[in-house]
Structure 1
Amino acid sequence: MEMQQIPTEKGRDEANEEPKLEVKTEGKQSKGNVRLYRIGCFLLTTICLVLLMVVIILGVKLQTGSSPEREGGCSYEQCKNRLQLRPEVLGCQQRSDGWLTFGRSCFYVSTYRLNWDEGVKNCTSRGGSLAVITSQEVQEFLTKKGKGFHWIGLRKRGNTWTWVNDTVLQKSYWKDPPSQDCGILSSKDPPEKNWITVSCQANAYFICQVKF
């Protein structure tokens, strides 16, 4: 009959030593996992807070920023309505044949003759006035498109030459010193000097202008 060996105190300690080490190791791993989990949660929370702040700031800017109207813009419906009301969208196409587009104006070069006052009335009935030339570009354009002698909106009142819009003549293109009271543009001469004057009662072609 075999005798059972009774473990000594040293043997008991050795037998219990490995479980104690395993418990300590698992505890360290558990603490390490918890620490990593907390760090991950902190980072995710920080990112979420930053994104939330960005969204809030953008929302405030959109609400308090300048409206499209103040910036010269408009919503889709507002722009659509404006475009339908503004004649420059189609240039001069919405008018009858014979109108020409240049810059922000429509010009009509007549094919029949009237005196200066009748030309004024005719242009007024078309929604505009006799042409007012305020730049070298307009002067050259009308000279090129004209086919003879055309009334422009220039007349002498007292000792001052004024346009039909009551502005005083600044830049002039006289061919000869003016001697009559109403101005005519002669497209047969160079644009640098092709204004002449005749009696306002004379008949001539005329140029109407509508600004937009």
Structure 2
Amino acid sequence: MEMEKIPLEKKRDGDGEGTSKLVMEVKAEEEAQPDHYAALQTPAEDIYAEASFGGVPPKAGKKTEGNPRLYRAGCLFLTMISLVLLLAVIVLSVKLQTGSKESPGTGEDGRCWNIFPKFQAQKLDEQQCGEGWLLFENTCYYLSTVRLNWSMSKNNCTAGKGDLAVISSQSVQTFLTGKANDFFWIGLKHDANQWRWVDNSALGDSYWEGSTPRQGCGLLRGAGSPQKNWISSSCTSKAYFICEKQA
């Protein structure tokens, strides 16, 4: 009986080894095959990179860069705009500087009067003399806008704390000629066979158009030559008048 059991045990042992080898081969095949379930549980990070770059993942260790041509074109465009703006500022500055030197109008006395300086001068005249008066060499002058005879013109100037204008210098003569545009009474009257000013001073330098007249009252004709633009007329005639007072 014992002789028959020995071969059975050996057979069983052989069957065990074969089974073990088969189990080990199955496990090796399972380990060699990819775990699709695990891949679905933990998707690769490259999926997002592939979606961002059209399915082509970027190379490892290389930073993503923009289009260098587009960058250079943008820089060039901004530079050109800056240059154009700078050129516009320069041109405007030059025009402003040259415009301040140019004269928009010329006065009747041959001098140029800029708009802004003229406005400033007018304000200064009004501050020192009053509205409508003109300041020249520390004396205020007023050119009337109504016509009166010589006596009434003198009374109006006196009421304004002044008198008819006394032309005592070439500069005053030139200034008033440039401001007048018609015939204006001045403070000159023929009395006792001589011409005298309203301040009772004798006539010195004169600017008669012709020979010295012998009667009447003196008139200054504007828009004429400042060297010869005085005429005489009857003191009862009506004309504009020029008043003066100290500033």
Give yes or no for contact 2:189–2:196 (8 Å, CA) kept in 1: yes
Aligned partner of 1:202 in structure 2 is 237
Kindly state the Cα deviation for residue 97 of structure 1 after the two structures are TM-superposed: 2.2
Decide which of 220, 226, 229 is 1:191's aligned counterpart.
226
TM-score normalized by structure 1? Answer: 0.56
Aligned partner of 1:125 in structure 2 is 159
Aligned partner of 1:145 in structure 2 is 179
Tell me which amino acid in the other structure corresponds to 1:192: Q
Aligned partner of 1:39 in structure 2 is none
Secondary structure at 2:127's aligned position in 1? coil
Tell me which amino acid in the other structure corresponds to 2:153: G
Residues matched between the structures, number: 123
- Is 1:134 aligned to 2:188, yes or no? no
Q: Which has the higher contact order (CA 8 A, sep 6+)?
A: 1
Tell me which amino acid in the other structure corresponds to 2:245: V
1:161-188 deviation digits (Å, cap 9, x = unpaired): 0000000000000002214310000013
Alignment of 1:50-61 (within 5 A): none
Kindly state the Cα deviation for residue 159 of structure 1 after the two structures are TM-superposed: 1.0
Name the CA distance, whole Å, in 2 between partners of 1:130 and 1:104.
16
Alignment of 1:50-199 (within 5 A): 91-177=125-211, 178-199=213-234
Radius of gyration: which is bigger?
2
Give yes or no for contact 1:149–1:187 (8 Å, CA) kept in 2: yes
Give yes or no for contact 1:175–1:193 (8 Å, CA) kept in 2: yes
Name the CA distance, whole Å, in 1 between partners of 2:204 and 2:237.
25
Aligned partner of 1:38 in structure 2 is none
Secondary structure at 1:93's aligned position in 2? helix
Name the CA distance, whole Å, in 1 between partners of 2:142 and 2:187.
13
Secondary structure at 2:171's aligned position in 1? helix
Tell me which amino acid in the other structure corresponds to 1:107: Y
Tell me which amino acid in the other structure corresponds to 1:210: K
Q: 1:170 to 1:105 in 2, by over 3 A?
A: same
Provide structure 2 residue ranges, at least 5 long, that are not aligned to the other structure. Answer: 1-123
Name the CA distance, whole Å, in 2 between partners of 1:107 and 1:196.
20
TM-score normalized by structure 2? Answer: 0.48
Tell me which amino acid in the other structure corresponds to 1:180: Q
Q: CA RMSD in A?
A: 1.3
Give yes or no for contact 2:219–2:232 (8 Å, CA) kept in 1: yes
Give yes or no for contact 1:129–1:209 (8 Å, CA) kept in 2: yes
172-181 or 91-100, which deviates more: 91-100
